[in-house]
Every structure is written in C-alpha cells, then in structure tokens.
C-alpha cells in the first residue's frame, strides 16, 4: 500500500499505542476526538484526501518514487529536479488555500530531503552506512504513506551556553547511552508541528555542534507512540471556541473544520535501534543538516501564500458584503495584498527553479533565495493581515456571540442592525468576520502570523544566511571596476 486514504490515515492514528498527551492540566484518554485535536487532524488528512484516486488534485499531491517507481504521496518524496521542487511548493500553496492554516506534514518531507543528502556526504567522509540505512527507512515511509514529524527545535535553556555547557543537558536532545543494538536518547523538542498527528518523528540537531557537543549531534527516528514520549499540547488563541459547538456549525470558531498543532515533546530514555540512527556524534555534519533542512523549510513557507489567497478572498468578499467594494482605496488595498502575496510566491518559486543537484542525487533549493523567501514571510503576512482588518472593519472584534443569533429575544435585533449590503445574509457576514478574526488574531493567526515569523527559524537566522550567501565581496569588485579603482 503506497497511498493511504484520508480515512485510513485517521484509523492508523487510532491503531497506535495510547499516547501520553496532556492538555489543559489533564491527560487525554482519547486525543483524536478532542475538538481541538480533531481540527488539526483534518488539516493533515487533506494531504491524503486530495491524493486519493479520483481527486482533481491527485497529480499535485503525488509523485513517482525515485526509489521504487511506485506512485507515492509527494510528502514522502525525495525531490529529483527543480520541477519537482516547484511542484512541491505548488502543492503547499494549494493546501494553504484549502485549509487556511498549517497542514503540518511539510516538516518531515523537508527533513527527509536534508537527511538524504547529508547522510550521503557523511558516508563519503567517514565510510559509515547512514545513507543506505536512510534509504531503507524511506522505503518504509513511502510504502506506509507515513506522516513524520521533523523535530529540530530544542528548548535550549540559557542561550549563551553551548549544549555541553548547559547545567541540565536535557534542554537539548542527546544520547544518554550507546548499546550494541542502538542508542538511548533523552531531552525535549519544543513547538513540534503536528507531532501527535505523526506516525514517527525524525530527530535532528538544532544548531551547528562542536566536538564537545558530540552527544548532541544525533539524527534518528522514533515512533510517535513510544511510551517514553510525553506531549504537552500548545494553546492557541481562541482555541476553546472549537469546543463550544462541535456538532453545530460552530461559527464563532471562524474556520471550525481545520486547525494547526504544536506541542512540547519530551523524551525520557527512548531506545532507538541502530537501523534508525542516521547521525551519532558526527558533529561536523550537524551544520550541513540544519542549513539544508532550514533551506527546504524556508521555501516551504509558500504555504503562507495559500493562506494569503484566503485572506485576499475574504477581503474582497467582506468589502462586497459591506457595500464598499467599489471604493478606489479598497481596490488599491486588495492590489497591495496581491502584490505582497505574489512577492513571497516569486521568491519561493525562484529558489526551486534555481535548485541544484546534491552529491546524493536529490535536489536542494537555492539557499539564498529560500532565505529571502522566508524573510519575506516574516513581514508580508502581517501587512496583508493589517489590510484585511482595515477592510473588514471593527465588527470582527465586536460582533456578538453566535448564540445571540439564535436567542429569539436578540436574533432579530442582530439581523436588523448588523446587516450589510442589500441581499447579504447577516449570518454570512458574521461568519466571514469570524473567519477574518481567526486568520488575523485567532488560531489560524498562529500559523499565518507568528509561525511566519518564527517557524523554520526567526528572522535573524535568515539574515545570517543571506549575509553568508550574498557574496558581497564579488559585488565590491563590480563597483571598483566601474569606478576604475585599481587598488
Ligand atoms: Fe507546512 Fe507551512 Fe505548516 Fe510549515 S508552516 S508545516 S510549511 S503548512
Ligand atoms: Fe512551520
């Protein structure tokens, strides 16, 4: 079975050992039916549903495996050309349009591709067999159509200390024991996107390590239902609105069917068999892995252009509902939103088409442009959100509760006084305002704004990479040549 249906994916989660998931002070007996978690599962399930036979998007969501020749989900794919990198970001924009939030599955895909090429180069230097081992693991991923959480961010504690200097070494995932048949790891990973909705987690180092940090230079696979893992669910703004009316239309949730997911993941002496270890102590390759993973994931932030498309659509629609769509300043603001969104898209597309083959044979995006793309993402969605709020008007934060539309004492008053343009249903107008609220300051804003800022590395991380990749020395020579400076 190389492709699961959405239904099979949902079942595959339930068939696991019980996970240790804590939320709001309680251990969840049944995490999958919790309205907050269910919404996040729906987002990942889309990556299966749109790949199903008969789906209009099957070609966008699937690819022919370079390892087996079978049709597989693109999220399990090792990219072999600039065109495939481009198809990847196209898929991400599409999914952003469909769920309006983070669909979580990209982190693993980006981690696969970074690990694929890094293990090849490690083996070249050290004569190890990590790459063949990793390829074998990828067969399992492809054939099982697995979701794998790419786990990079360690809690870090005191940022002024290197991993080996930390008084509590658990603030970085590290090897605590080496056995003949594998390793044992402990530590934690923070804000792990989709970790509970994943089958496996691919652990990677979070920073470039030094020789003294050897035990922290570890890359390996753990099963998400390992009893040694504890998950503490991350809150999102207005998340409990999902619990208010889960069986109704839940209008106050804004976009009730979809959500993202982040959690703190703690590893307490988790055993990893040798065949699932892809770096153990090769500290001098940690930087390469981090840089390549970050590069892929920064290009993946094309997902935000899909959410941007939703934001632009919402802006146009609310302008029409308000009777303001013909005002020239509204039209101009919508042009501006499109310009910003497509500027992100252009850097994302460009870094794919300028991608180069690595020694291992897969393709790596252009690192300079991938970092420019992500730097754009740290800024433009905020401006798009500002313009969306500007066009929407203040009612998006002063509108009454959904129940006030049901209460016979208030329903007619709400309808009469909160209506918009002639012929527009007041409830539709309020629903759209809740969507805008969600996108710009609710659960979806976690994905559209804060994740845009900090996901795949905070803005300064991209600026460091831009400084490194921009080759300013060469640019100095251009200036000197034109000015006829000989020295
Ligand atoms: Fe994918 Fe975007 Fe979510 Fe990252 S933020 S996992 S790229 S949807
Ligand atoms: Fe992210």
Give residue-wise pLDDT tens across range 191-210. Answer: 999 999 999 999 999 999 99
pLDDT (0 to 100) of residue 317: 98
Residues annotated catalytic, as ranges: 102, 106, 193, 262, 297, 301, 303, 451
- Percent above pLDDT 70 for the chain: 100
pLDDT in tens, 440-453: 999 999 999 999 99
In angstroms, rounded to a whole number, what is the distance separating the alpha carbons of residues 218 and 175? 7
Identify the domain containing residue 320 by its residue range. 298-483
Q: Which atom of ligand 1 is nearest to the CA of 95?
A: 8
Q: Nearest residue CA, atom 8 of ligand 1? A: 102
pLDDT attached to residue 135: 98
Residue 149, token pair as written in the block: 């959480």
Residue 392's alpha-carbon distances to 163, 240, 316, 332, 447, in angstroms, are 47, 24, 9, 15, 20
How buried is residue 241: exposed, middle or buried, by Cβ count under 10 Å (0-12/13-18/19+)? Answer: buried
Distance separating alpha carbons of residues 225 and 20, to the nearest angstrom: 8
Q: Cα separation of 26 and 212, whole Å?
A: 39
Number of domains in the chain: 1
Which of 67, 437, 19, 41 is closest to 265 using CA atoms? 19
Substitution site in 42, 88, 107, 263 for ligand 1 pocket (most atoms within 8 Å of beta carbon): 107
Torsion angle of C-alpha atoms 460, 464, 466, 468, degrees rounded to 10:
180
Closest CA to 133 of 280, 12, 270: 280
166: pLDDT strictly greater than 90: yes
Rounded percentage of the chain residues whose pLDDT exceeds 90: 99
- Note the pLDDT of residue 127: 97
Element (H, E) at 333: helix 328-353
Q: Residue 370: inside a domain, yes or no? A: yes
Q: Which ligand does the CA of 95 lie closest to? A: 1
Tally Cβ neighbours within 10 Å of residue 356.
10
Does the Cβ of 451 fall within 6 Å of ligand 1? yes
Q: Residue 221 in contact with residue 14, Cβ under 8 Å?
A: no
Give the pLDDT band of residue 224 (cuts 50, 70, 90).
very high
Q: 346: burial class by Cβ within 10 Å (0-12, 13-18, 19+)?
A: middle
Q: Is position 353 within any domain?
A: yes
Averaged pLDDT score across all residues of the chain: 97
Cα separation, 35 vs 246, in Å, equals: 7
Known binder of ligand: residue 398? no
Helix (H, G, I), strand (E, B) or coil at 272: strand
Tell me, yes or no, whether 448 lies in a domain: yes
- Residue 71, beta-bridge partner list: 64
Mean pLDDT of 337-352: 98
Task: Answer yes or no: is the C-beta of 106 below 6 A from any ligand 1 atom.
Answer: yes
Asked if 454 and 446 touch (Cβ cutoff 8 Å), the reply is: no
Residue 118, number of CB atoms within 10 A of its CB: 29
Q: State how far the Cα of 192 lies from the Cα of 149, in Å rounded to an integer.
A: 8
pLDDT in tens, 120-133: 999 999 999 999 99
How far is Cα 152 from Cα 461, in angstroms, rounded to an integer?
A: 14
CA 136–ligand 1 middle distance (angstroms): 26
Give the pLDDT of residue 246: 83
Q: Report the phi/psi class of residue 22: left, alpha or beta, with left for phi > 0 and alpha for psi in -120 to 50.
A: beta
Give a yes or no: residue 417 inside a domain.
yes
Residue 429 lies in a domain: yes
Task: Indicate which atom in ligand 1 lies nearest the CA of residue 451.
Answer: 5
3-state helix, strand, coil in the chain (%, to 5): 55, 15, 30
- The answer to whether position 425 is within a domain reads yes
The answer, yes or no, to whether residue 119 has pLDDT greater than 70, is yes
Task: Report how far residue 274's alpha carbon sits from residue 178's, in angstroms, rounded to the nearest whole number.
Answer: 10
Which domain CATH number covers 341?
1.20.140.10
User: Which tens digit of pLDDT belongs to each residue from 383-433?
Assistant: 999 999 999 999 999 999 999 999 999 999 999 999 999 999 999 999 999
Contact (Cβ atoms closer than 8 angstroms) between residue 46 and residue 99: yes
- Between strands 262-273 and 229-233, the pairing is antiparallel
pLDDT of residue 88: 98
Q: Tell me the pLDDT tens digit for each residue of 246-284.
A: 888 999 999 999 999 999 999 999 999 999 999 999 999
Q: Is residue 70 part of a domain?
A: no
- Please name which ligand lies nearest the alpha carbon of 298: 1
* Ligand 1 contact, 193 CB (< 6 A): yes
- Whole-model pTM? 0.97
Q: What are phi and psi of 113, to 5 degrees?
A: -70, -35
Structure tokens at 399: 């509108």
Is residue 383 situated within a structural domain?
A: yes
Q: What is the pLDDT of residue 1?
A: 64
């Amino acid at each position: 079975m190389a492709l699961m249906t959405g239904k099979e994916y949902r079942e595959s989660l339930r068939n696991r050992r019980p996970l240790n998931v804590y939320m709001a002070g309680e251990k969840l007996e049944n995490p999958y039916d919790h309205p907050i978690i269910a919404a996040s599962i729906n987002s990942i399930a889309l990556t299966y549903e749109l790949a199903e036979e008969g789906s209009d998007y099957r070609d966008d969501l699937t690819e022919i495996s370079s390892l087996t020749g079978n049709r597989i989900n693109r999220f399990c794919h090792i990219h072999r050309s600039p065109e495939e990198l481009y198809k990847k970001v196209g898929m991400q924009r599409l999914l952003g349009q469909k769920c309006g939030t983070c669909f979580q599955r990209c982190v693993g895909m980006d981690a696969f591709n970074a690990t694929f090429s890094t293990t090849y180069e490690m083996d070249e230097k050290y004569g190890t067999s990590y790459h063949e081992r990793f390829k074998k693991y990828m067969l399992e991923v492809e054939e099982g159509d697995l979701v794998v959480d790419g786990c990079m961010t360690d809690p870090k504690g005191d940022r002024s200390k290197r991993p080996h200097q930390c008084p509590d070494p658990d603030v970085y995932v590290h090897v605590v024991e080496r056995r003949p048949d594998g390793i044992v790891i402990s530590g934690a990973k923070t804000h792990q996107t989709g970790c509970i909705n994943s089958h496996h987690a691919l652990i990677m180092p979070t920073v470039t390590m030094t020789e003294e940090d050897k035990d922290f230079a570890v890359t390996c696979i753990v099963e998400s239902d390992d009893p040694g893992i504890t998950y503490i669910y991350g809150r999102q703004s207005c998340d409990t609105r999902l619990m208010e009316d889960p069986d109704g239309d839940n209008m106050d949730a804004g976009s009730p069917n979809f959500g993202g997911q982040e959690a703190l993941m703690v590893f307490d002496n988790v055993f990893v068999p040798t065949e699932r270890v892809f770096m153990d102590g090769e500290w001098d390759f940690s930087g390469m892995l981090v840089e390549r993973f970050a590069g892929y994931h920064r290009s993946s932030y094309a997902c935000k252009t899909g959410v941007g498309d939703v934001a632009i659509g919402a802006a146009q629609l609310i302008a029409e509902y308000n009777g303001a769509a013909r005002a020239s300043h509204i039209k101009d603001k919508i042009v501006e939103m499109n310009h910003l969104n497509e500027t992100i898209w252009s850097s994302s597309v460009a870094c794919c088409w300028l991608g180069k083959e690595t020694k291992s044979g897969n393709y790596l995006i252009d690192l300079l442009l991938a970092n420019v793309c992500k730097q754009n993402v740290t800024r433009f969605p905020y401006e798009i959100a500002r313009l969306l709020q500007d066009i929407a008007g203040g009612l998006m934060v002063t509108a009454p509760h959904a129940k006030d539309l049901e209460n016979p004492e208030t329903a007619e008053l709400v309808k009469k006084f909160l209506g918009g343009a002639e012929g527009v249903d007041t409830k539709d107008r309020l629903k759209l305002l809740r969507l805008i609220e969600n996108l710009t300051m609710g659960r979806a804003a976690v994905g559209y704004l804060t994740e845009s800022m900090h996901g795949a590395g905070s803005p300064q991380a991209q600026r460091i990479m831009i400084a490194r990749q921009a080759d300013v020395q060469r640019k100095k020579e251009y200036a000197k040549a034109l000015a006829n400076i000989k020295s």
